[in-house]
Structure 1
């Protein structure tokens, strides 16, 4: 029997008590002094003002804050201390963070404290992050399919296991060990993937380096380039129920588009004079903040429309669409460097310079061979269904599976807990009956 099994057999042989979270901890909402700009300070007497921007989704601890508020502002806010938990209560909500600083939180946070008699901090972190707990919070905070705020009452009402502290300590040890192994393996796989991508870039550049046997042609000669626009947002009939893809900069995060986030209607095509471009086109971003760092290029295998920040290429018969994609993507950084406009409030490209940029255009049979090699290499590097990305995803899912398994306990048969369990069974039966009726 494992150490955890021995502890459970010794300390909770008849199961673990479940109780409402509000019975095990103090859970309150943050508060904001208003207007907040009047209380922001750079003085040494300032109090840490903790915001969403101070953390990333994968973080466990909050170690600093970008801003501080005055002591007067702190009196009108919610004070939190090192060791407390905070959860975001709106938008991407419910992720727990452990404070390693004292400070104040606004009303976009919930604070969790006074739990040390019932939970170890690290155990509670794993418990609140579990799929079952996260799912329950999403369910309770959703009304009519729309996600609302995660209020303090919802979190207080969460029914959670309260195993003995010694059992919690052993589970934490196991999960931390598994987390470390997963992180190390993920880092190794990520490094390998990065190396593969660098290797891909190297060979792509080699393959696309100008050969004197092949002509250099400006991008304008590869086919017909066109721009797009945005149908009136106020005209709901242009958008509601739309099925026609409409590309904007937010879609240009992958090299092959599967779909777009936004769609327009046939009415928008007809009345807003939108152009529907054919499948197997190549889209580039010419105006967006993302041009600070990269030159987004995407292959579009479906018919689509585009907005005013996108240009699209429909290739000539003497150019393969996938070759045009690879050569533009391969030369992307050079295109960005040579055509980016200086100044301006939004990063943009001088499109006339883009059109004048020259690339090698070999015969179709050579293009076909290059495309085959480059497509195969790109698939190895980026396809989530094969290779290293799939392995990284599988490791994360494996960790989540074992975490949720370790955090699932048999429930004790005490009268109080039995009543709650009966209530939950009744709720589940009601849900099943409702499902059958629907």
Structure 2
């Protein structure tokens, strides 16, 4: 036990009790999608991480702990407003001996353990008996006043970290909006007269307008019959929507490659996901993935670098104007998509290469401040999250009772 926690307990012991003994665990009541009201007063929490919609009634008070039973089974949440709990999530109401937020922190500290209790079936679900028997620490069980004081102190410290992370995240959101505003301004040459900085940057140079198909070259698909090489495969989930970077890939060969693993990549290619295109899942291929394979679910844009820089194309296809174009030209309601040819019909501004370089340099700096995990606010948030996780583990790492010795069944020795 860490010395700080030992000092906090001040000689008091810790008793572990099943969650079902220290809290009421109840399921909500079903509301179907057809009953949802778009502008309803209260959010409806069901089997997901975020609300499934809104409703004009609530059945739970604010500051309630929920644990998902079906869907994202095992996910622990703390709802800070009145809401409607659907029947696929548990609501956990602690007894007076437990502070609500303390129990929430205990449960989130056990998040991996709770996920491990989920039954892998169709659908995946968290059995009631498993969550009911989850052991919960009760500090100073024989001294209720001191127990609540210890819990309060732990909550106070962890709340300090979560508040700081929330403030930094809110600040990052404002920075991202600022970045998007200036990105769209720097790409809007038709209204350059309203933005003197852009006029000065152009210095009288003309801006052409060309479809993406004219400023990019043809790409190739792999011939799996002629290769024994192992490739890194970039599928539709490999690219982060938030940071526009590749998070993870899988190794494939001619024998293991899925049918969609076809598109050969080169350094500086811009890949853009054509399924659910308004998510704008895209990135620039760096040297690490030069020569690797992408899914046919990506449109590969290989810049004619003497006309348009790769990063210029990237910023054009992450703009709000391009998103509007996607909304107007995608097809399919349940699974919207857009064709490669339609993407290449989108017309982008082509200022001189020198102006592109200057604008890309500015946007790269904004992007680093809002997306990079090695600098700016994202780095600060990541560090604070790690710090919070460290102290949460430290403050909730209560001593567990020694397991009872196993009786092997041998006869005990008789004393003389």
| Interval of TM-score (by shorter of Structure 1 and Structure 2) | 0.5 to 0.7
C-alpha distance after superposition, 1:225-275 (max 9, x if no partner): 6699xxxxxxxxxxxxx9542443784614543256677642587987933
Please, which of 39, 50, 55 is the counterpart of residue 56 of structure 1? 50
Distance 1:116 1:23 in 2: 9
2:352 corresponds to: 362
Q: Secondary structure at the match of 2:382?
A: helix
Distance 1:172 1:68, change over 3 A: same
Q: After superposition, give the CA deviation of every residue in 1:50-73 in whole Å (9 maximum; x if it has no partner).
A: 75268639xxxxxx974889xxxx
Q: Measure, in 1, the Cα distance between the counterparts of 2:80 and 2:264.
A: 52
- State the Cα deviation string for residues 149-172 of structure 1 (Å, max 9, x = none): 432333344333222332442244
Partner residue in 2 for 1:88: 68
Deviation at 1:398, TM superposition (A): 2.3
| 1:160 and 2:136 aligned | yes
Deviation of 1:298 after TM superposition, in Å, equals 2.3
Q: SS in structure 1 opposite 2:345?
A: helix
In structure 2, how many angstroms separate the alpha carbons of the residues matched to 1:173 and 1:203?
A: 45
Query: Does residue 1:409 correspond to 2:402, yes or no?
Result: no
Q: 1:68 to 1:344 in 2, by over 3 A?
A: farther
Counterpart residue number, 2:126: 150
Q: Measure, in 1, the Cα distance between the counterparts of 2:366 and 2:63.
A: 48
Contact 1:49–1:105 under 8 Å retained in 2 = no
* 2:283 corresponds to which of 291, 298, 303: 298
**2 CA distance for matches of 1:373 and 1:15?**
58
Describe how 1:17-416 pairs up with structure 2 within 5 A: 17-25=15-23, 30=27, 51-52=45-46, 56=50, 66=55, 86-90=66-70, 91-95=72-76, 97=78, 106=87, 108-110=88-90, 112=92, 116=95, 118-130=97-109, 133-141=110-118, 149-164=125-140, 165-201=144-180, 204=183, 208=187, 210=189, 211=202, 212-218=204-210, 219-224=212-217, 243-248=231-236, 251=239, 253-254=241-242, 256-259=244-247, 265-267=253-255, 274-288=262-276, 291=278, 295-301=280-286, 302=289, 303-308=292-297, 310-319=298-307, 321-329=309-317, 332-338=319-325, 340-341=327-328, 345-346=332-333, 351-352=341-342, 354-355=344-345, 357-363=347-353, 367-368=356-357, 370-410=359-399
Query: Normalising by structure 2, what TM-score?
Result: 0.66
CA distance in 2, matches of 1:83, 1:270: 46
Conservation of the 8 A alpha-carbon contact between 1:86 and 1:111: yes
Structure with more of its chain in helix, by fraction: 1
Number of the residue aligned with 2:13: 15
Please say which of residues 206-215 and 153-162 is displaced more in the overlay.
206-215
Identify if the C-alpha distance between structure 1 residues 254 and 404 changes in structure 2 by more than 3 Å, giving closer, same or farther: closer
CA distance change for structure 1 residues 82 and 270 in 2, over 3 Å: closer, same or farther? closer
Question: For 2:300, what is the secondary structure of its paired residue?
Answer: strand
Alpha-carbon offset, residue 281 of structure 1: 0.9
Retained in 2: the 8 A contact 1:196–1:381? yes
Q: Deviation of residue 382 (structure 1)?
A: 1.0
User: Conserved in 2, the CA contact under 8 Å of 1:286 and 1:349?
Assistant: yes
Give structure 1 stretches of 5+ with no counterpart: 43-47, 58-63, 70-78, 229-241, 412-416, 424-438
SS at match of 2:328: coil
Which whole-Å deviations, capped at 9, do the CAs of 1:321-376 have from their partners, x for residues lacking one? 5333344246x22233356436954356685585251312423x655555444334
Q: Would you say the 8 A contact 2:65–2:79 is kept in 1? A: yes
SS in 2 for 1:355: coil
CA contact (8 A) 2:316 2:348 kept: no
What TM-score do the two structures reach when normalised by structure 1?
0.63
Q: Name the CA distance, whole Å, in 1 between partners of 2:240 and 2:16.
A: 46
Q: 1:338 to 1:329 in 2, by over 3 A?
A: closer
Query: What is the CA–CA distance in structure 2 between the aligned matches of 1:24 and 1:156, rounded to whole Å?
Result: 10
Change (3 A) 1:204 1:227: farther
Deviations 1:303-331 (Å, cap 9, x if unpaired)?
Answer: 332334x322112241565333344246x
Whole-angstrom distance in 2 between the partners of 1:372 and 1:138: 44
> Equivalent residue of 2:381, what SS?
helix
In the alignment, the residues of structure 2 paired with residue 83 and residue 255 of structure 1 have an alpha-carbon distance, to the nearest angstrom, of 31
Query: Compared with structure 1, are the counterparts of its residues 171 and 261 closer, same or farther at alpha carbon in structure 2 (3 Å cutoff)?
Result: farther
Alpha-carbon distance change, 192 to 225 in structure 1, aligned in 2, over 3 angstroms: farther
| Residues 76, 108 of structure 2: 8 Å contact kept | yes
Tell me the distance in 1 between the aligned counterparts of 2:162 and 2:343: 45
Pair 1:370–1:121, CA change in 2 (3 A): closer
> Alpha-carbon deviations, 1:76-114, whole Å to 9, x = none?
xxx9999985422343414155798798863x444556x
In the TM superposition, what is the alpha-carbon distance from 1:400 to its structure 2 partner? 3.1
- In the alignment, the residues of structure 1 paired with residue 18 and residue 307 of structure 2 have an alpha-carbon distance, to the nearest angstrom, of 65
Cα displacement (A) at 1:286: 4.4
CA–CA distance in 1 between the matches of 2:173 and 2:43? Answer: 37
